[in-house]
Amino acid sequence: MRGKLACVVRAGGRGKGTCSAGTSPTAHQYPWHNLGEAAEKCVYRHRDCLRPTPQPPEEPQGEAASAASSPWPTGHRFAERTRAEHATIHALLAAGHGKRSVARQLGMTLNTILRFSRAATPEEMFTGQWQNRPTRLDAYKSYLDQRWQKGCTNAWKLWEEIKEQGYPRGYAGVRAYVSRNLRGKPRPVGPRPPSARAVTRWILTHPDTLPECDRIQLKVVLANCPT
């Protein structure tokens, strides 16, 4: 796909010249629009190479308690990036790519790839200064969990109840705990492969302005498409 797209881009660049005599100006009016259409058609022809981005394996219900005490809970920027990189690296290694090849494809150092490859789970990478620290809410978490199971799902009501029991902090801590650990979030039916239009947009976007998650997905797509 990369070689064919390079030809498309070069062809699109040649379309920027001035119009020759007898040529309609509209033929050269939208060179980038034409380039985008040509690139999307090229990607669509390789749609069999578009696969879902690997997702971290779901944890069994029995491990919910340990997940709640994870150093970086779901939603933490560093944690989400680490989980995505861990899944991508292990997927490429499982597909038969060598560690040096993975390092080149993802723009990482070999030592970084080695550290990720040795970690069976992304949580093994979660070490450092942002470890969870005890909070004033810890003594009330079991009560909050019980009340939630009994059907009290109003964070403000829960805060008022533990405030009467002596909780000295404000509402924000309870709201964050409920949102992060108690409020169930619907899971998608399954990861979907990126569309040809999305991949085309990633390809035509300057790498410096492409979001990191899109950049990683693009590298996975190109790694899965040898032609």
Q: What percent of the chain lies above the pLDDT cut of 90?
A: 18
Task: Please check whether residues 40 and 84 belong to one and the same domain.
Answer: no
Res. 56: pLDDT tops 90:
no
Task: Please check whether residues 172 and 203 belong to one and the same domain.
Answer: no
Contact 4, 202 (CB under 8 A): no
Task: Please check whether residues 120 and 147 belong to one and the same domain.
Answer: no
Task: Please check whether residues 178 and 201 belong to one and the same domain.
Answer: no
Res. 83: pLDDT tops 90:
no
60 in a structural domain: no
Res. 36: pLDDT tops 80:
no
Please report the pLDDT score of residue 2 as a whole number.
55
Please report the pLDDT score of residue 226 as a whole number.
66
178 in a structural domain: yes
118 in a structural domain: yes
62 in a structural domain: no
188 in a structural domain: no
Number of domains making up the chain: 3
Range of the domain at 212: 2-18+26-53+194-223
Over residues 153-176, the pLDDT tens digits come to 899 999 999 999 999 989 988 988
Please report the pLDDT score of residue 32 as a whole number.
58
Over residues 116-139, the pLDDT tens digits come to 999 888 877 776 545 556 788 889
Please report the pLDDT score of residue 143 as a whole number.
92
**In angstroms, rounded to a whole number, what is the distance separating the alpha carbons of residues 10 and 2?**
12
59 in a structural domain: no
Q: Which residues, at least 6 apart from 216, have a Cβ–Cβ distance to it below 8 Å?
A: 53, 84, 85, 88, 106
Task: Please check whether residues 178 and 198 belong to one and the same domain.
Answer: no
Dmax over Cα atoms in the chain, in whole Å? 86
211 in a structural domain: yes
Q: What percent of the chain lies above the pLDDT cut of 70?
A: 66
Res. 16: pLDDT tops 80:
no
Average pLDDT over residues 86-97: 92
Average pLDDT over residues 57-76: 49
Task: Please check whether residues 143 and 165 belong to one and the same domain.
Answer: yes
Please report the pLDDT score of residue 84 as a whole number.
87
38 in a structural domain: yes
Which carries the bigger pLDDT value, residue 196 or residue 134?
196
